[in-house]
Amino acid sequence: MSVTDCIDIANRRGVRPGVIVDVGARFGHETLALAEAYPDAAVHAIEANRDSSIKLRANTRRAANVHCHRFAAHFETGEANFCIASRRNPGASSLFEPLNEDYPHYIRIRKQRTVPAKRLDDWAVSEGIDRIDLAWMDLQGAELFALIGMGHLLEKCSVIGVELCDKPIYAGQPLRTAVDRFLVSHWFWKMHEERVNEWFSNAVYANGGRQYGTE
């Protein structure tokens, strides 16, 4: 499943997003897909890895509706330790340290760095944003942290794309049950899931109380 599936589900549900977040945007490939699909929306690309964020800004510089931010989405605002993966696989960087050497794409950490960490609801206030309509999250185990940090913005969000891990790739990461239970407890329904491998799936959830787009 790609961000295209998230876009398709949003379109089928009549969602007309005004504010979109791509959390864990890496180099901006999904950011650009979202910006193209919704040219009238403000697309906020959030990336904690400094090197990746430089490439993100360069890759999205011509997209007028894209806004880039460098911080780690978290359940509390402050600072956090961030594990930066090798340059061969920078997208594997995470708030968590790699755990399992059996993972077929074993992750090697190049260095650790203290980075700004923000709750998404705190960040939204600082940006003058009062809603998030669509969220795409690729956070290498930290999706639940970002979801908790959305706070009251969750109730206004129509569609969310996340990873669901069945086996831990990172030490201490929340697994499928915790992420799914949290979203279901906030009235989100799983609309689509695609298995990537035996370790994790990608899934799209829709807000059960927002079936007909944003107000």
The yes-or-no verdict on residue 201 having pLDDT over 70 is: yes
Lowest mean pLDDT across 34-38, 43-47, 196-200: 196-200
Tokens linked to 215: 């107000």
Amino acid 98: pLDDT: 87
Tokens linked to 77: 């605002």
| Higher per-residue pLDDT: 106 or 108 | 108
pLDDT in tens, 72-82: 999 999 999 99
Over its C-alpha atoms, the chain yields an Rg (Å, rounded) of 16
Where residue 212 falls among pLDDT bands split at 50, 70, 90? Answer: very low
Instruction: Quote the CA–CA distance of 155 and 194 in Å, as a whole number.
Output: 25
The yes-or-no verdict on residue 24 having pLDDT over 50 is: yes
Please enumerate in sequence order all residues whose Cβ is within 8 A of that of 66, keeping only pairs 6 or more positions apart, or say none.
28, 31, 32, 35, 43, 44, 45, 60
pLDDT in tens, 128-185: 999 999 999 999 999 999 999 999 999 999 999 999 999 998 999 999 999 999 999 9
**E strand or H helix that includes residue 165:** strand 159-165
Full set of structural domains in the chain with CATH: 3-75+118-135+153-166+180-195 (3.40.50.150)
The yes-or-no verdict on residue 104 having pLDDT over 70 is: no
The yes-or-no verdict on residue 21 having pLDDT over 60 is: yes
Average pLDDT of the segment spanning 34-49? 97
Amino acid 77: pLDDT: 98
